[in-house]
Structure 1
Amino acid sequence: MHRIGDLCFRSFTSTGLSDAVFVLVHGIGMSHRYLARLHAALSAQGTVISVDLPGFGGLPKPAGDAAIGEMADALGNVLDRLDVSGVVLIGQSMGTQWVVELAVRRPDLARAVVLIGPVADERRRTAMQQARLLALDTMREPPGANTLVMGDYLRCGPFWYLTQLRHMLGYPIEERIASIDAPVLVIRGGRDPIASRSWCRLLRSSAAPDTMLIEVPGRAHNVQHSAPAAVASAISHFCLQLALGRSEGGTA
């Protein structure tokens, strides 16, 4: 357990054979549990750290609010305590906002940034629109994924969920991503109604020139749970391309 001021974090680490470090950050209402399959799949590629953010996964809720920037700063402090840098920051859903903001504020920490099902589409930034998309996504997810989501939502509770939803809907990720120095990989499920293809293409065009977009066919928003091997393979390939670019003197 890590306490940063009024914010309480929890981390889970698996140590792999290579020196690569992957940091997994869940989305709104969720916890490390729905990242567990991706965590296991990436363990063969290096050290994997999954983080539960304040108020999620049964952790205490802060006495006050915690905006995107505050959460990102505290997450950076947690990684400092874990003595890691040059990591691959991987966020899913609202987790993409926290890792983007962290990469902007702490470029020393981010070797690369991976956005899985990034939110929120600039054309759909009302609570009602997001609720409709979430309902549609629920019908496209496997039962096991829905069970995890509902269980974590109950642990989070409506007050903290709605508090964070306000920040999620107000965060201009399409603007902030342009300030990231590190390479960016965007991943979406081919049937994800929340992170649409057009939205993900917009993010790709807004980020660094070496940004990549990969779709996993037939999967919805929680693609990291329903197709962990495919997502891990995409991340591994992306990191390999970065390593090859560096060895050849490129900027990637």
Structure 2
Amino acid sequence: MSTGTSGSRRRARRTSKRPSTTLAERWTVVDGVDVFYRESPHPPSGAAAMMHVHGFGLSGRYLLPTAERLADDFHTLVPDLPGFGRSGKAPGALDVPDLAHAAARFLDDRGIERVTLVGNSMGCPVICEFAHLYPDRLDRAVLVSPAGGIYNQPLRRAMGQISRDGTREPARLMRVVTPDYLRFGVPSTVRMFKALTQYPSLERMLALHIPTLAVLGDRDPLMPGAERVQEVAGQTDNHVLIAKIEGAAHAINFSHSGELAHMIRLFMADRPIVDDPDSPGHARLYEIHRGSQHPPARED
């Protein structure tokens, strides 16, 4: 649990800098590993829990623009999973199921039984595996720019996709993610890439039986085209709602936080995915597929 004194002075030194977020920055210990996380400082009474799950090689820092916008509506948590960001390393190399178990253990530590998970990139396979391992603990899933599988193989191809994406993201994103990539290191990158691309991401996503929102950017080089995604989604009668944000690349949680937060609020309320009337002139967002088993959109 998190409130013991072991390591508290060391963690205090590491958190003495000016906070980089309006969320509270905290530490806990899960299975002997120091885990850094951010949390709504004053979540609304009875608010549903919503945890944001970061991508490959990164910390949760780049997810904060979206998470902060939702913190007044949900009990918001943004951890650095073990082995990533400021959190300590777990013994042994982690794969996607290991990270799903780590997410569940973190929620256990925080006393949260049921949760909505919002992931970006690698965070989406982690969410799909969480749904497979802990189906009774997941209320809803939001899969933003889901990565992994054959479209990102081999490593050379994935590196080219990531390079092209870098030119399409806001320049300020590099200042956020570069320290994370350097900290993660080359050996961890190679191991995690192998685990991620071998994971059956598509099969797990199509097997989901909870309301699921998949969000795509039309400028994302790591994703197949929207038409292919829609074709695949149409092969199963599931709960997946697919929406697109025009002008967005891969790191939507950072680059288009206003549009994404608006979309998530609509999804959580079972409302149609439409543009935010309070943000005229921003990127257009709209549905491209709604599974027949997905809750019907409420028009009221």
Fold shared by both chains (TM-score > 0.5):
yes
One-letter amino acid of the counterpart of residue 265, structure 2 = S
Q: Distance in 1 between matches of 2:139 and 2:30?
A: 24
Q: Distance in 1 between matches of 2:82 and 2:237?
A: 30
- Does residue 229 (structure 1) correspond to residue 258 (structure 2)? The answer is yes
One-letter amino acid of the counterpart of residue 157, structure 1 = G
Corresponding residue for 2:268? 239
Deviations 1:1-21 (A, max 9, x none): 444446543321104336222
Query: Which stretch shifts more, 29-38 or 118-127?
Result: 118-127
Change in Cα spacing, 1:228 to 1:84, as seen in structure 2 (3 Å) is same
> Would you tell me which structure has more helix in proportion to its own residues?
1
Corresponding residue for 1:23? 51
Q: Select which of 124, 148, 167 maps to 2:176.
A: 148
Higher relative contact order at CA 8 Å, sep ≥6: structure 1 or structure 2? 1
Corresponding residue for 1:247? none
Q: Select which of 46, 49, 71 maps to 1:43.
A: 71
Change in Cα spacing, 1:108 to 1:2, as seen in structure 2 (3 Å) is farther
Corresponding residue for 1:9? 35
Change in Cα spacing, 1:251 to 1:107, as seen in structure 2 (3 Å) is same
5+ long unaligned stretches in structure 2: 1-26, 272-292, 296-300
Query: Which stretch shifts more, 137-146 or 206-215?
Result: 206-215
Query: How far does residue 44 in structure 1 lie from its aligned partner after superposition?
Result: 2.5
Corresponding residue for 1:32? 60
Q: Distance in 2 between matches of 1:19 and 1:159?
A: 40
Query: How far does residue 61 in structure 1 lie from its aligned partner after superposition?
Result: 2.3
Q: Distance in 2 between matches of 1:26 and 1:147?
A: 16
Change in Cα spacing, 1:176 to 1:16, as seen in structure 2 (3 Å) is same
Deviations 1:75-110 (A, max 9, x none): 112112212233111111001111110011101211
- Decide whether the 8 Å contact of 1:186 with 1:200 is kept in 2: no
Query: Which stretch shifts more, 120-129 or 233-242?
Result: 120-129
- Decide whether the 8 Å contact of 1:11 with 1:52 is kept in 2: yes
- Decide whether the 8 Å contact of 2:34 with 2:88 is kept in 1: yes
Q: Aligned-pair RMSD on alpha carbons?
A: 2.1
- Decide whether the 8 Å contact of 1:120 with 1:195 is kept in 2: no
SS of 2:58 mapped into structure 1: coil
Q: Select which of 176, 197, 200 maps to 2:204.
A: 176
- Decide whether the 8 Å contact of 1:191 with 1:220 is kept in 2: yes
SS of 1:195 mapped into structure 2: coil
Corresponding residue for 1:83? 111
Query: How far does residue 185 in structure 1 lie from its aligned partner after superposition?
Result: 0.5
One-letter amino acid of the counterpart of residue 135, structure 1 = S
Q: TM-score, normalised by structure 2?
A: 0.76
Corresponding residue for 1:128? 156
Query: Which stretch shifts more, 191-200 or 1-10?
Result: 1-10
Deviations 1:40-61 (A, max 9, x none): 1111321111011111113222
Give % identity.
26
Corresponding residue for 1:245? none
- Does residue 109 (structure 1) correspond to residue 137 (structure 2)? The answer is yes
Query: How far does residue 205 in structure 1 lie from its aligned partner after superposition?
Result: 3.6
- Does residue 63 (structure 1) correspond to residue 91 (structure 2)? The answer is yes
Query: How far does residue 231 in structure 1 lie from its aligned partner after superposition?
Result: 0.4
One-letter amino acid of the counterpart of residue 10, structure 1 = F
Query: Which stretch shifts more, 125-134 or 3-12?
Result: 3-12
Q: Select which of 213, 221, 228 maps to 2:242.
A: 213
Change in Cα spacing, 1:206 to 1:12, as seen in structure 2 (3 Å) is farther
Q: TM-score, normalised by structure 1?
A: 0.89
